[in-house]
Amino acid sequence: TGMISLEEAKARILSFVHPLGTERISVSQALGRVCAREVQAAVDLPGFDNSAMDGYAVQSADTRQAEEVSVALKCAGRIGAGEKFAGTVVRGTCVRLFTGSMLPSGADAVVMQEDTTSNGDVISIRCSAKPFENVRLRGEDIRSGTPILNAGERITATRSSLLAASGRSELVVHRTPTIALIATGNELREPGEPLQPGQIHESNRLLLSGLLAPLGCRILTLPIIRDDLEKTRAALQDAFSKADLVVTTGGVSVGEFDFVKEAFTNLGGKLELWRIAIRPGKPFAFGRVDSKFLFGLPGNPVSALVTFLLLARPAILRLQGASDLNLPELEGELNEPVSNRGDRRHFVRVRWNNGRVRVAGPQASHMLGALRDADGLLDVPPDTSLLTGARVKVQIWEMLESANRL
């Protein structure tokens, strides 16, 4: 069987995947969710003209002489934050106010406290104020009715705070998928369990749930299953009854212990199995059952990582309604030469650090140690030699702390 390109595999997968339905939720619950409909500001921001400083509201014309000699103004009152001043600032007067206090009528500027001296209710002003100096104008940040969030954008900390500030307490988002994680393999034991000869601790479910965590999906970590057709079928059936998408690791190869494909088709699933022309990668299964999806990843942890990032992640983002399905990219300079003499694209695991790109240790697909300090994939085409200093783009899956600051 021939190999297909990564692009072709991705396009085929995405041709079946459509955003889940929508729901209206509270802004306080929206972090990580994807906006389904444009949201407009309900109010102006700022909502009213207000002071940028602790100081005095004045008519700027009254302060014109203050550069040469100080000007005395009579203080007519005080406006705390959250209050409205009943009177008007007339010539020769000022009003005490604070950062965020509503500008009183009649005033067109604020003199900061540091440029004044008070003596009872007489305030000496030492600096002239231009019209609107130290005033934050109504609507200068956001105007009521302007779009503040587009469909397809993910709710971040700053976006949720903007929604709240601009008068939105709810918004319409896409439903987030429930994703079931299954590890297959007779050799696998739960972390912490004692091992018999030949056994290993299962680690792919933690890898995948960690990669999924920032996407705000509901994650079901299901038990390890043995390499057994009936057990695999039962586990998949259970997983599909609870989840929109099931990710398995292991058991998709060609050995006589690989039951994921057969178990899935026994359930009525339609399977597409590909050898994708990438390294690491090897066999990878994608399948559909009703409107749900199976991602059968290879068992080798590095292969599971790379195929998840390049093939499963975009599909999950599409289910969430996200408009950008790709990993973010950063540019950098290679710290060492990298070459690919093979005939498949090599996704080299690297560490991007302040614009320098280092290869993250040995690249064999079973080696987890080198991933400790990896945060990106470097796509090296076949028959390519990249020299030290070459400018490259790295697809980042996670931002690590800067090594310089350690």
Nearest distance in Å: CB 5, Mg ion: 26
Nearest distance in Å: CB 364, ligand AMP: 11
Sort strands 329-334 and 391-396 into parallel, antiparallel or unpaired: antiparallel
Q: Which is nearer to ligand AMP, 56 or 347 (CB)?
A: 347
Q: Which is nearer to Mg ion, 126 or 231 (CB)?
A: 231
Nearest distance in Å: CB 9, ligand AMP: 18
User: Residue 340: CB partners within 8 Å, gap ≥ 6?
Assistant: 346, 380, 381, 382, 383, 384, 385
Q: Which is nearer to ligand AMP, 5 or 253 (CB)?
A: 253
Neighbours of 372 (CB within 10 A): 10
Using alpha carbons, select from 254, 270, 247 the residue that is nearest to residue 184.
247
* Spatial distance between the Cα atoms of 365 and 301, rounded to a whole number of angstroms: 7
The one of Mg ion, ligand AMP, none whose footprint includes residue 66, by CB under 5 to 8 A per kind, is: none
3-class DSSP state of 397: coil
Name the closest residue to Mg ion (Cβ). Answer: 250
163 CB burial (10 A radius; 0-12, 13-18, 19+): buried
* Spatial distance between the Cα atoms of 284 and 15, rounded to a whole number of angstroms: 17
Nearest distance in Å: CB 297, ligand AMP: 8
Q: Which is nearer to Mg ion, 51 or 249 (CB)?
A: 249
Give the H or E element holding residue 252: none
For 138, phi then psi, to 5°, come to: -55, 130
Name the closest residue to ligand AMP (Cβ). Answer: 299
Q: Are 321 and 152 in contact (CB under 8 A)?
A: yes
Nearest distance in Å: CB 205, Mg ion: 14
Q: Which residues form the interface with Mg ion (CB under 5 A)?
A: 185, 250-251, 299
Q: Which is nearer to ligand AMP, 189 or 356 (CB)?
A: 189
Q: Which is nearer to ligand AMP, 366 or 372 (CB)?
A: 366
The one of Mg ion, ligand AMP, none whose footprint includes residue 262, by CB under 5 to 8 A per kind, is: none
* Spatial distance between the Cα atoms of 355 and 371, rounded to a whole number of angstroms: 19
Nearest distance in Å: CB 39, Mg ion: 46
- Helix H, strand E, coil C: the string for 60-97 is HHHHHHHHCCCEEEEEEEEECCCCCCCCECCCCEEEEE
Q: Which is nearer to ligand AMP, 36 or 225 (CB)?
A: 225
Nearest distance in Å: CB 226, Mg ion: 10
Q: Which is nearer to ligand AMP, 124 or 203 (CB)?
A: 203
Q: Which is nearer to ligand AMP, 264 or 352 (CB)?
A: 264
The one of Mg ion, ligand AMP, none whose footprint includes residue 104, by CB under 5 to 8 A per kind, is: none
The one of ligand AMP, Mg ion, none whose footprint includes residue 300, by CB under 5 to 8 A per kind, is: ligand AMP
Nearest distance in Å: CB 301, ligand AMP: 5
Q: Which residues form the interface with ligand AMP (CB under 6 A)?
A: 183, 185, 187-188, 200, 202-204, 249-251, 253, 298-301, 366
Nearest distance in Å: CB 146, ligand AMP: 49
For 303, phi then psi, to 5°, come to: -65, -40
Alpha carbon of 89 to those of 108, 182, 203, 311, 320: distances in Å? Answer: 9, 70, 69, 65, 54
Neighbours of 335 (CB within 10 A): 15
